[in-house]
Amino acid sequence: MKRGIAFFLLLFMAMPVTSRSITSDNLPITRRISSMVHSIEQGSDIDPRALQLALQGYFNLKRQGLIRREGIITLIDFDKPSFAKRLFIIDIDNGKVLQSSLVAHGKGSGEEMATSFSNKSGSNQSSLGFYLTANTYIGRNGYSLVLKGLDHGINDKAQSRSIVIHGADYVSEEYIRMNGRLGRSQGCPALSLDECQVVIDLIKDGSCLFIYHNGQDYASRSAVLNPELVLRGEQGNSPA
């Protein structure tokens, strides 16, 4: 009897461990986010607070089934000056930055720094919050990517405002050398003509994009970050 028990114990110990309980997919979401922030921010210029909020919103949207292209997120950090690279495309599954690029803000949001944001048509301001990338098209600004705003009252008028990702000649290192900053758009996150197609093709057709600024009490008003606000009818209350 003892020999039989010993045999089964040895057999069990020799079996490969395949339980999903030890994979990152089953870790509590807050621990996953904390681990990913630590991994991704190493050696990058990404603000860990911006990255934490981006990942929090991404997983909230993923649970709701709203993200069609999973495993990738674009973070635009408008806390940084326009002469710095502040668009980051992040491979969530592998914990690495795929691309970092210059990106312009709206002329109504500020000059070197973006400080004001709006959801209003005609404001020429950038809008904060979470977006879903949609289809591409060729328009007056060339190859462009439609953005669907997901934060009610904060950026949900993006499509009616024609807020898209497109290329612009005022987004370049040469423009920065001549002017000390990038040029500005009418509210669109505009990219350099050299990188525009590469970036759009990486993120088009249903990936998550997040525009961040450490002000405007955005994080407390976002229904994406705080789904309970939808139930209370409080999401996005803002004069902008």
Contact 17, 28 (CB under 8 A): no
Mean pLDDT across 77-81: 98
In a domain, 57, yes or no: yes
Looking at the DSSP assignment, which residues form a beta bridge with residue 104?
Answer: 190
More confident position, 238 or 46: 46
Any idea what the CATH number is for the domain that residue 223 is in? 2.40.440.10
Number of domains composing the chain: 1
Position 42 scores a pLDDT of 78
For the record, the structure tokens of 216 come out as: 């405007």
Position 32 scores a pLDDT of 86
Candidate from 11-20, 30-39, 73-82, 85-94 with smallest mean pLDDT: 11-20
Cβ neighbours around 142 below 10 Å, total? 13
Which pTM was predicted?
Answer: 0.85
In a domain, 14, yes or no: no
In a domain, 9, yes or no: no
In a domain, 115, yes or no: yes
Percent of the chain past pLDDT 70, that is, above it, reads: 84
Position 235 scores a pLDDT of 60
pLDDT over 80 (residue 20): no
Candidate from 71-75, 119-123, 143-147, 228-232 with smallest mean pLDDT: 228-232
Residues near 30 by beta carbon (within 8 Å), at least 6 away in sequence: none
For the record, the structure tokens of 1 come out as: 């009897």
For residue 66, give its domain range.
20-232
Mean pLDDT across 30-41: 87
pLDDT over 50 (residue 147): yes
Position 21 scores a pLDDT of 29
pLDDT over 90 (residue 11): no
Mean pLDDT across 167-193: 98
Contact 143, 167 (CB under 8 A): yes
In a domain, 145, yes or no: yes
In a domain, 157, yes or no: yes
Q: Residue 101 — very low, low, confident or very high, per pLDDT cuts 50/70/90?
A: very high
Mean pLDDT of the chain: 88
**CA 148 to CA 134: how far, in whole Å?**
7
What is the DSSP code (8-state) at residue 88? Answer: E
Closest CA to 57 of 41, 74, 80: 74
In a domain, 85, yes or no: yes
In a domain, 11, yes or no: no
